[in-house]
Amino acid sequence: MPLTGIAMIIIAVAICVLVLTLVPTLLTIKRSAASLGELTDMVKGELRPTLKELTSVLTELKTVGGGVAEHTDDVRRFMSALGETGGNLHTINRAVGVVSNVVNTSSALTTGAKVAGKYLLEQYLKKKGGSNHVRPL
């Protein structure tokens, strides 16, 4: 057999092996393309309702955001009034503390004055030679 005949047989075998290898690959590529087409159709079908729903949610969020912006001034005024009320309560608390200290001090002074008065009265009566009993005040 001539050398060209052997080369032709080798080339024919190589082409057969190539075709046998390419056929399953081409079939797999064809199935993948069909699957990709189905996936694209499914995504398009699911994406449209999702986008519509997202648009409606964004519209609602804009409405809610506008309502929040409208009431921001009210919240600021409320917080300011709350701060002023806290300051006033602090002032009242300090005033009550001062009055309480004054009452406690005056109570102690009153008790001290009573004791001192009783003692002075007893001493005075003893000097005068009066009775040893002193009526309680």
- Which structure tokens are listed for 29? 């590529």
Closest C-alpha to 32, from 40, 42, 43: 40
CA angle 55, 59, 60 (to 5 degrees): 120
Task: Encode pLDDT of 29-82 as tens digits.
Answer: 999 999 999 988 888 888 888 888 889 988 888 888 777 777 788 888 888 888
Instruction: List, as one string, the DSSP characters of 30-92.
Output: HHHHHHHHHHHHHHHHHHHHHHHHHHHHHHHHHHHHHHHHHHHHHHHHHHHHHHHHHHHHHHH
Q: Is the pTM of this model over 0.85?
A: no
- Which structure tokens are listed for 95? 């005033």
Domain spans, the chain: 1-132
Task: Encode pLDDT of 76-111 as tens digits.
Answer: 888 888 888 888 888 888 888 888 888 878 887 888
Check: CB of residue 137 under 8 Å from CB of residue 115. no
Q: Give kind and range of the element (H or E) at residue 112.
A: helix 3-128
